[in-house]
């Protein structure tokens, strides 16, 4: 979306007093029945989780308020660990089907840090270690474009709708929600009011509500020698403040999820992404998490990220007319009509079609692989020329779908876009690692036996070899 379109849509949203959807389809598939939610409260900068809300959606969450989140004793996390392990086992039994809703990206960051702390911790119980590993796997999955496991409710709202406030204000999920709430008559004022309190997985700490500083003080007090009565009062107060804080985060997530589904965007055309996401997750859960450290692992991860990106873009363009319209303006999609079908034997190879478009900008080049949107037809661009009409004429050799006459017949209006190359070179990179290629895996370059030094000027040799 261009800056100008973004701006004008904001003007319109301000005028309409509500958020406006900017996509015609959802980038997230429908929730499976097993969908769960997680919300956290961390200690600022510490990143240590001090409260967690978790559970199935549509029910009250289970809450854990941690009295000593910095301490080594993590038995208080066991209920969460067991819940997570159970959810993962269910996913493994159902081909990786898993959907975890979180209020925002900060929750995933906090879970990832939790993972870092316990996934290799030999002093922790096996359940806590497994929890740590699962957290790392989930956080890793969340970085893939188009992934269908983690539903970051704030990000989903930002990706699918625009409000009548500044983009930076859209960063505050609660403020953004004011633009989705029909009951709010003045979303501008309401959003600014809501933004007083953070909505990023931390406690409120405004002059009128210093929850964070209070917890800090109470924890200090609890460490000193208190009478049993006073100690339990202090601990009760800590639990109360933390529970209220994490419940607020949970409620935020539930409201954002409702607002997102409330947009009523169709969830079709996401099968490839669902499949990719499930495969990645199942593989990681079964094989374990291995952060990319060696060159080959980094290369594989880059390929995985890149192919996820390509497949996601293709799926989005195929599914979303509004996005296709924008891509057409930039030449990434060619919309035109079939001028002629060159196919000596109907329904057989060889087959090529000439497509003419009135677009003046097309990005595809000779020998690019392309697909016809909404069909199984794919081919290779063989020629691009200026049409007498002033538009552009593209010749495509059809590789797949030569029988789709309905698509290939002259006069048919079609849309063409580049085919996503989504190949991950796992084998190539792993084999290179096995061979221990020195440039990437060695510490020093091998010394070679010098050949005959200066056996005449290479340039002179080349000159002599030039054809007359």
Partner 1 sequence: MNDRARTSQDADQVMDEAIDRALHGDTPLVIVNSPPGAGKTYLVECAAIAAAVGAGMRVICLTPGVVQAYDIAERLLAYNLPRLELVHAKHRETPARLSGRLTVSNGWGGALNNGPGVIVANAHVIAAYRNQLPSGSFDLLIVDEAYQLAANNFLPVADLAPRALMVGDPGQLPPVTSVDTSNFEAHAHPVHWALPTYLLKRFPRTPVYSLPSTRRLLPDTARVVQKAFYPDLSFASVVDPASRRLRFDVSGIHARLDPALDALASGASIVAVVLPGASPAHEETDPELAAVMAGLVERILVRQGTWVGTRRLGQGDIGCIDPNVLTGGAVSDRLRRAGLRDVRVDTVERWQGLEVPIAIVRHPLSRVGDPEPFDLQAGRWCVSLSRHQIGCIIVGRGSVDDVLREYVHPCDTAAAGGRDDVWSGFQAHCSIWAELQLRGRIFRMGNDS
Partner 2 sequence: MSLKGATALVRLAQNPRCEVLGAMVMQEGPETRFFERVVGTPYDREYGERQSSKRRGTQFERNAYAGDARLLREALAPMVGLQPDDIRVRNLLDDYPGTKDDARVARLRITRRLLADSLAGRAAPHLIIQPQLLVPTKPGPRPYFFIAPDVLVWMQQFGLYVPADLKSFVVRENEVSRADLARVRLQLGAQSLALMHEYDHVSGGKTVVPATGLLIFSHPNGLRPHAPRTEDLRGAREAVRLGIEAFLRHRRRIDGLRAGAEPYTVTTDLVPHFEEACLAQCVMSEWCRSSVAGRTRDLGDSAGQLLGNIELARVTGLLLGTTMAASDAEQAIAAELQRIANEYGVRAA
Residue ranges that bind partner 1, judged by CB under 8 A: 2-4, 145, 293-296, 298-299, 302-303, 305-306, 309-310, 329-331, 360-361, 363, 366-367, 369, 380, 382, 386, 390, 399, 425, 427-429, 431-432, 435, 437-440, 444-459, 461-462, 465-467
Sign of the Cα torsion 128, 132, 134, 135 reads: positive
Cβ atoms 170, 73 nearer than 8 A:
no
| Nearer Cβ to partner 1 (204/384) | 384
Q: Residue 330: is it exposed, middle or buried by C-beta count within 10 angstroms (0-12/13-18/19+)?
A: exposed
Number of residues that bind partner 2 (CB under 8 A): 46
User: What minimum distance in Å lies between the beta carbon of 110 and partner 2?
Assistant: 10
467 binds, among partner 2, partner 1, none (CB under 5 to 8 A by kind): partner 1
Options 97, 133, 141, 169; binder of partner 2; rule CB under 8 A: 169
186 binds partner 2 (CB under 8 A): no
390 binds, among partner 1, partner 2, none (CB under 5 to 8 A by kind): partner 1
Q: Directed axis angle between helix 271-287 and helix 126-141, to 10°?
A: 150
132 binds partner 2 (CB under 8 A): no
Q: What is the DSSP letter of 61?
A: P
And the tokens for 96?
A: 């990786």
72 binds, among partner 1, partner 2, none (CB under 5 to 8 A by kind): none
Q: Residue 271: is it exposed, middle or buried by C-beta count within 10 angstroms (0-12/13-18/19+)?
A: exposed
The pair phi, psi for residue 443, each rounded to 5°, is -95, -30
User: What minimum distance in Å lies between the beta carbon of 318 and partner 2?
Assistant: 20
And the tokens for 204?
A: 């409120």
5 binds partner 2 (CB under 8 A): yes
266 binds, among partner 2, partner 1, none (CB under 5 to 8 A by kind): none
223 binds, among partner 1, partner 2, none (CB under 5 to 8 A by kind): none
Between CA 145 and CA 313 the distance in angstroms is 9
User: What minimum distance in Å lies between the beta carbon of 12 and partner 1?
Assistant: 15
| Nearer Cβ to partner 1 (168/228) | 168
Element (H, E) at 56: strand 49-56
192 binds, among partner 2, partner 1, none (CB under 5 to 8 A by kind): partner 2
Cβ atoms 359, 328 nearer than 8 A:
yes
Element (H, E) at 237: helix 228-262
326 binds partner 2 (CB under 8 A): no
And the tokens for 192?
A: 């600014």
Between CA 381 and CA 366 the distance in angstroms is 5
Residues that bind partner 2 (CB under 8 A): 3-12, 14-16, 20-21, 43-47, 109, 112-113, 116-117, 164-169, 192, 196, 198, 204-208, 212-213, 215-217, 291, 322
């Amino acid at each position: 979306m261009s800056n100008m379109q973004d701006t004008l849509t904001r003007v319109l949203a301000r005028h309409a007093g509500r958020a406006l959807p900017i996509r015609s389809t959802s980038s997230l598939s429908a929730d499976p029945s097993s969908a769960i939610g997680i919300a956290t409260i961390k200690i600022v900068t510490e990143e240590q989780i001090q409260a967690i809300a978790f559970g199935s959606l549509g029910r009250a969450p289970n809450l854990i308020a941690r009295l000593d989140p910095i301490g080594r004793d993590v038995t208080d996390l066991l209920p969460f660990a067991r819940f997570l392990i159970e959810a993962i086992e269910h996913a493994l039994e159902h081909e990786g089907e898993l959907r975890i809703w979180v209020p925002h990206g900060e929750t995933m960051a906090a879970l990832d840090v939790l993972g870092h702390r316990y996934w290799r911790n030999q002093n922790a119980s096996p359940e806590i270690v497994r929890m740590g590993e699962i957290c790392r796997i989930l956080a890793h999955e969340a970085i893939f474009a188009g992934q269908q496991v983690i539903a970051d409710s704030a990000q989903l709202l930002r990706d699918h709708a625009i409000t009548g406030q500044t983009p930076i204000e859209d960063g505050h999920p609660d403020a953004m929600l004011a633009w989705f709430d029909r009951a709010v008559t003045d979303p501008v004022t309401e959003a600014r009011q809501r933004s007083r309190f953070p909505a990023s997985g931390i406690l409120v700490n405004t002059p009128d509500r210093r929850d964070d500083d209070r917890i800090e003080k109470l924890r200090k007090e609890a460490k000193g020698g208190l009478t049993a009565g006073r100690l339990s009062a202090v601990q009760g107060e800590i639990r109360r403040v933390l529970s209220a804080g994490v419940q607020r985060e949970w409620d935020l997530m539930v409201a954002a999820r409702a607002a997102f589904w409330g947009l009523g965007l169709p969830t079709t055309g996401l099968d490839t992404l669902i499949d990719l996401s499930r495969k990645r997750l199942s593989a990681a859960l079964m094989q374990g998490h291995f952060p990319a450290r060696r060159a080959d692992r980094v290369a594989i991860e880059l390929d995985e990220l890149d192919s996820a990106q390509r497949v996601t873009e293709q799926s989005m363009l195929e599914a979303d007319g509004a996005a296709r319209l924008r891509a057409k303006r930039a030449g990434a999609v060619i919309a035109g009509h079939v001028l002629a079908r060159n196919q000596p034997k109907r329904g057989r190879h060889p087959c090529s079609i000439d497509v003419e478009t009135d677009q003046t900008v097309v990005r595809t080049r000779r020998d690019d692989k392309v697909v016809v949107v909404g069909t199984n037809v794919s081919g290779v661009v063989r020629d691009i020329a200026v049409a007498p009409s002033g538009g552009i004429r593209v010749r495509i050799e059809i590789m797949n779908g030569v029988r789709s006459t309905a698509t290939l017949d002259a006069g048919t209006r079609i849309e063409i876009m580049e085919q996503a190359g989504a190949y991950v070179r796992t084998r190539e990179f792993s084999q290179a690692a096995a061979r221990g290629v020195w440039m990437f895996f060695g510490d020093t370059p091998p010394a070679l036996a010098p050949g005959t030094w200066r056996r005449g000027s290479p340039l002179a040799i080349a000159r002599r070899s030039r054809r007359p």
